Amino acid sequence: MDNNAGHAPACDSSIQKTDDELTAWLASMKPLEYERIRLEQAKRMGCRPSALDALVKSARNEESDADRLPFPEVESYPEPIDPAQLLSEVSDTIRRFIVLDAEQADAAALWAAFTWFIDVVQVAPLLIINAPEKACGKSQLLDLMGRISSRSLPTANATTAALFRSIEIWRPTLLIDECDTFIKENEELKGLINAGYTRGHAFVLRVVGDDHTPKQFSVWSAKALAGIALEKHLPDSTLSRAIMIELRRKLSHELVVKMREAEDGLFDGIASKLARFAQDYSQQVQLARPILPDALGDRAQDNWHPLFAIAGCAGPEWVERATVAALKLSGSGEKSVSTGNELLVDIQDIFESKRIAKISTAELIAALVVDDEKPWATWNKGKSISFRQIATRLAGYGIKSKTIRLKYETAKGFEASQFEDAFARYLADPINLPSQSNTSLKPSNDASFDVTDSVTCDGWKSNIGNIVTDEKVTSNIKVAPKPASTLDCYVVTDKTGGTGALLSTPIPESSHSRI
């Protein structure tokens, strides 16, 4: 065993060495070994650490950063290519090795082509390769995408500082695998990924050198992420910037080729053709103004814009294939990636299904956690979503709880009318919310909600919190409920249809005779 492993090479301090000899000795060290003693050696040599760094670098005779490419240089295909044929070849190749739908393969093919056009587009959508479990092929797909993408750079164990410096120098396609294991707590990396979405804002500011000089770094590049259940590990702001490929585990009858069994030169040939594609069609993609499906939201349209511009080079068939893929992967029918949006959808469903005009916060939470498939029952570290979390999410939409009257009590809660603007702006199909005017509402059997004074009946049955008619309906009667004599805070509707409380006692027979 080498007892000197991990330590700096020995240097006999009793022997006087010239500056050149010391520099050569330091240059022979491994980077970590040098880092441990650089400050001490700089002090001994009477120079600044940055000056010593420059001397050591020169002594090592290192190539410049630009010359030391961490990925192979791809030579452009010698002959012109047919874009439609090439994109179909890429899509078919992906499906040879990975179990996924045709639309997902088409989206992946367009994204791989997009990496070669990164210098002429304005938006860089993320590619997120997601899976619910292990052994679904996500790492294999990321590997395949790396083989055909422009300047692909795997980033295992790379620091954020190394990444933004790498992007600044090489503008690579970053391949970030197993994101579920580390990215949730890495705020700096998430910031870098989000900042690199649009060309005009793809910069981060850092300090460099011993004097901490501020420097702006470009983070403009294509980025692909892979992991398990990334919807739980990535923020909404990142998910909204992505085209997501949802993989599934292969069944016994689904046959694919192993990556190791690919014929020699297969992926190199595709990369070469994609390089020629970008060489011949960059100007067309740069000037393209594709027509995007109206069913896509604004952010989804931004994501798909460069891919539609590329599909346009391949003709109408590929524009149609891009449309089908975009609608399936990013259309409005898909599950919302925004937590706030998902909460609005579920609140909308509660108002609609219960036909209510107001609800307390406690009752809202109780209704949200009923469905075990929704996230709200375990949202708060395994417990149900809290009052404060509800308030925080809704505050972003300008919705705040207020004191409302329910039956005989007041409580903090919400009126349906408070959500009208948010539902109209953020949900695809806003409902007609219950009005607090004189409109018939179906009462709830399990909570304390308002009803109006318009009832069609011949007889009455009633209990606390519920009004029902008997089976025989003979006439339309407007009934003005009389307050219970023992409850001085009871609220009833007036003749003009004001808000009322639930009828909790039977209407006396004399009430019928007065109408």
Write the single-letter amino acid at 392. T
- pLDDT for residue 106: 98
Structure tokens at 455: 């009832």
Q: How far apart are CA 222 and CA 336, in angstroms?
A: 24
CA nearest 453: which of 497, 491, 505?
497
Q: CA angle, corner 76, sides to 71 and 80, nearest 5?
A: 155
Q: How far apart are CA 183 and CA 171, in angstroms?
A: 21
pLDDT in tens, the chain (515 residues): 444 444 445 454 444 668 887 888 888 887 778 888 888 888 888 888 888 888 888 877 654 444 567 888 899 999 999 999 999 999 999 999 999 999 999 999 999 999 999 999 999 999 999 998 888 999 999 999 999 999 999 987 788 888 888 898 889 999 999 988 888 888 888 888 999 999 999 988 888 778 888 988 899 999 999 999 998 889 888 999 999 999 998 888 888 999 999 999 999 999 999 999 999 999 999 999 999 999 998 999 999 999 999 999 999 999 999 999 999 999 854 444 567 888 999 999 999 998 999 999 999 999 999 988 888 988 887 888 999 999 988 988 899 999 998 888 899 999 999 999 988 888 865 555 555 543 334 444 444 444 334 333 333 333 333 333 333 333 343 444 444 433 434 333 333 343 333 333 333 443 343 33
- Domain 83-247+263-330 classification at class level: alpha beta
Structure tokens at 282: 């960059």
Using left for φ > 0, alpha for ψ between -120 and 50, and beta otherwise, residue 46 falls in left
| Residues written for the chain | 515
- Tokens 């989206």 appear where? 107
Angle at which helices 187-195 and 160-170 cross, to 10°:
20
H/E element holding 174? strand 173-176
Structure tokens at 13: 């301090």
CA nearest 166: which of 237, 34, 239, 71?
71
Write the single-letter amino acid at 19. D
CB 346 within 8 A of CB 329: no
CB 465 within 8 A of CB 448: yes
> H-type helices in 372-443, by residue range?
387-395, 420-426
Q: Beta strand pairing status for 173-176 and 409-415?
A: unpaired
Q: CA angle, corner 47, sides to 42 and 49, nearest 5?
A: 55
Q: What are phi and psi of 465, to 5 degrees?
A: 75, 15
Structure tokens at 22: 């010391």
**Which DSSP symbol is given to 164?**
H
CB 64 within 8 A of CB 75: no
- Tokens 């080729």 appear where? 257
